[in-house]
């Protein structure tokens, strides 16, 4: 009998991406820029589905959906139509969602595409469809414990593209990599910004070989997708080890407790009672329109990565990380136009800068740093004013304050210490405090590094490292000369 741990995992994703390039919603003129607004202030009779209202399709939404389909190597439909997906939920003001359908004559915007991940793995895309976003529910606590659910309909009616994959991913990590690549493609197209809260969400379908498929709803980020899938794999494997059956169901990912919770038995297609939207006529997409969209195709991540490597000579790994986030890649190029060491620049951005952003829970656009800030910091390192260690602290301060490197170094007295006499005085103090280490250093090179480290510590990392080595070794040489007399 095959071990449970060896059973193959199959993961498919349904990714919902807001078309954040649009100024208005999918079927009405309400502003799509709802974030930071008071609840229920971006609504009208159309997006609330009041009797007597009629939807009108946002033409730009169709064009952006076609552009996305082409970038995902998909077959664009020459004729598409909308359907009503009927279900009751408090965040759905009409009690149905205007969406698309790919069975019984339904035709989505596009079908049969793929994304090629770094390393060559192909993830097939079944379909891409255009639909409206529901509203947003907020709970006081968790979905299980809250006594109330608050509804904000500002988001209801915002244009979404739903991208449905085949179950081609075999690990949570692979699913995360796919989501990162998809986000990068949409950002390069300029049609969706993954940095905006709620702009990219996904449902994950997961099964363990020969088992029942379970859906996890409304995962809000790449990191949470990986966590939710890891938990669900462990849960399902534990059930199989106990000889228990895995039920077909929909589960909710609780980000606070990091567990999945059963919501309901998984609906079948017939439960949604799909039928053609009677208030919208079919949309014809001509070959000319498709060609126009092709001609408008900007540089996509794979080509962007190749160009960065060729133009700036940066390593593959750095180019991959930069192009995962278009804003970061653009920031790099703006810096590189004014600083002639792009390899060093890319190391700082994909290493220390990204590390600080992750630590602070910020996106690059939310910080106050500018390309000029980074360039000024690197130039201070180049001319010896500050060390690389000090520069790390300067970089963090620049992210928070937007001040220039020069201002921060001056205000916090961070300049590199290159006063040889001062370092010699500190060396005498260190030698007096560490006689054992001095005796070891007279015999072993390894112990010399300890003394240099003590000198750097005494100066809070501000001593010129090269000068600190020279001063320590000269003092040891004098001691050896004294002993040999």
User: What phi, psi does 123 have (nearest 5°)?
Assistant: -110, 115
- C-alpha–C-alpha distance, residues 335 and 342, integer Å: 8
Which tens digits make up the pLDDT trace of 345-392?
999 999 999 999 989 888 898 899 999 999 999 999 887 788 888 899
Domain boundaries, the chain: 4-294, 298-411, 420-484
- C-alpha–C-alpha distance, residues 347 and 67, integer Å: 33
Q: At residue 482, does pLDDT exceed 60?
A: yes
- Band the pLDDT of 132: cuts 50, 70, 90: very high
Burial class (CB in 10 A: 0-12, 13-18, 19+), 95: exposed
**Which of residues 463 and 437 earns the better pLDDT score?**
437
Closest CA to 164 of 11, 377, 6: 11
C-alpha dihedral (466, 468, 473, 475), degrees to nearest 10: 150
Q: What is the pLDDT of residue 398?
A: 93
Closest CA to 440 of 432, 451, 430: 451
Q: What is the pLDDT of residue 260?
A: 93
**Dihedral sign from CA coordinates of 98, 102, 106, 109:** positive
User: Which stretch of 336-340, 460-464, 466-470 has the lowest confidence by average pLDDT?
Assistant: 460-464
What lies within 8 Å, CB to CB, of 442 at 6+ separation is 476, 479, 480, 483
Angle in degrees, 0-180, between the axes of helices 301-312 and 316-324, rounded to the nearest 10: 140
Q: At residue 133, does pLDDT exceed 60?
A: yes
User: Which stretch of 99-108, 364-373, 395-404, 472-481 has the lowest confidence by average pLDDT?
Assistant: 99-108
Query: What is the percent of the chain where pLDDT is above 70?
Result: 95
Q: For the chain, what is the radius of gyration of the CA atoms? A: 29
Q: At residue 328, does pLDDT exceed 70?
A: yes
Which tens digits make up the pLDDT trace of 414-448?
676 666 787 788 888 888 888 888 888 887 877 78
- Band the pLDDT of 485: cuts 50, 70, 90: low
Q: What is the pLDDT of residue 1?
A: 42
Mean pLDDT of the chain: 90
Which tens digits make up the pLDDT trace of 238-260?
988 888 888 889 999 988 889 99
Closest CA to 215 of 227, 229, 198, 226: 229
- C-alpha–C-alpha distance, residues 62 and 70, integer Å: 12
- Band the pLDDT of 139: cuts 50, 70, 90: confident
Which pTM does this prediction carry? Answer: 0.84
The answer to whether the beta carbons of residues 357 and 390 sit under 8 Å apart is no
Q: At residue 411, does pLDDT exceed 90?
A: no
- C-alpha–C-alpha distance, residues 183 and 442, integer Å: 58
The domain 420-484: what is its CATH number?
A: 1.10.10.410
Q: What is the pLDDT of residue 390?
A: 86
Q: At residue 338, does pLDDT exceed 50?
A: yes
- C-alpha–C-alpha distance, residues 229 and 218, integer Å: 12
Strand bridging mode 159-165 / 214-219: unpaired
| Mean per-residue pLDDT, 140-167 | 92
User: Which stretch of 57-61, 313-317, 364-368, 424-428 has the lowest confidence by average pLDDT?
Assistant: 424-428
The answer to whether the beta carbons of residues 380 and 351 sit under 8 Å apart is no
Which tens digits make up the pLDDT trace of 258-287?
999 988 776 666 778 889 999 999 999 999
Altogether, the residues listed in the chain come to a count of 485
The answer to whether the beta carbons of residues 150 and 46 sit under 8 Å apart is no
The answer to whether the beta carbons of residues 198 and 65 sit under 8 Å apart is no
């Amino acid at each position: 009998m095959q071990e449970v741990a060896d059973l193959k995992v199959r993961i498919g994703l349904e990714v919902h991406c807001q078309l954040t390039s649009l100024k208005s919603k999918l079927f009405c003129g309400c502003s799509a820029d709802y974030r930071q607004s008071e609840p229920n202030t971006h609504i009208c009779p159309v997006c609330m589905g009041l009797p007597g209202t009629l939807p009108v399709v946002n033409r730009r939404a169709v064009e952006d959906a076609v552009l996305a389909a082409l970038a995902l190597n998909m077959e664009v439909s020459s004729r598409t139509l909308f359907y009503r997906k009927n279900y009751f939920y408090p965040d759905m003001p009409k009690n149905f969602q205007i969406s698309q359908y790919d069975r019984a004559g339904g035709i989505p915007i596009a079908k049969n595409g793929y994304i090629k991940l770094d390393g060559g793995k192909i993830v097939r895309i079944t379909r891409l469809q255009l639909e409206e976003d529901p509203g947003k529910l907020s709970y006081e606590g968790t979905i299980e414990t809250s006594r109330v659910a608050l509804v904000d309909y500002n988001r209801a009616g915002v244009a979404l593209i739903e991208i449905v994959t085949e179950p081609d991913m075999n690990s949570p990590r692979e699913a995360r990599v796919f989501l990162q690549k998809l986000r990068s493609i949409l950002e390069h197209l300029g049609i969706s910004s993954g940095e905006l809260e709620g702009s990219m969400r996904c449902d994950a379908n997961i099964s363990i070989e020969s088992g029942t498929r379970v859906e996890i709803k409304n995962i809000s980020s790449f990191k949470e997708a990986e966590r939710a899938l890891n938990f669900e794999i462990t849960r399902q494997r534990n059930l199989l080890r106990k000889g228990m059956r895995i039920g077909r169901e929909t589960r909710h990912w609780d980000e606070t407790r990091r567990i999945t919770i059963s919501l309901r038995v998984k609906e079948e297609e017939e439960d949604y009672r799909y039928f053609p939207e009677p208030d919208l006529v079919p949309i014809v997409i001509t070959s000319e329109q498709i060609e126009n969209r092709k001609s408008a195709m900007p540089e996509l991540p794979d080509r962007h990565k190749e160009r960065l490597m060729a133009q700036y000579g940066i390593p593959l790994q750095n180019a991959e990380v930069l192009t995962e986030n278009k804003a970061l890649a653009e920031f790099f190029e703006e810096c590189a136009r004014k600083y002639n060491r792009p390899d060093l620049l890319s190391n700082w951005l994909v290493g220390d800068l990204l590390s600080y952003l992750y630590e602070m829970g910020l996106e690059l656009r939310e910080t106050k740093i500018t390309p000029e800030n980074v360039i000024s910091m690197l130039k201070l390192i180049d001319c010896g004013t500050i060390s690389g260690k000090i520069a790390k602290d300067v970089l963090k301060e620049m992210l928070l304050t937007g001040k220039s490197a020069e201002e921060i170094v001056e205000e916090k007295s961070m300049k590199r210490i290159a006063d040889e006499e001062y370092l010699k005085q500190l060396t005498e103090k260190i030698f007096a405090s560490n006689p054992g280490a001095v005796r070891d250093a007279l015999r072993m090179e390894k112990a010399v590094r300890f003394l240099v480290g003590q000198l750097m510590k005494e100066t809070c990392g501000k001593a010129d490292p090269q000068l600190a080595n020279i001063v320590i070794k000269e003092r040891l040489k004098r001691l050896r000369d004294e002993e040999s007399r």
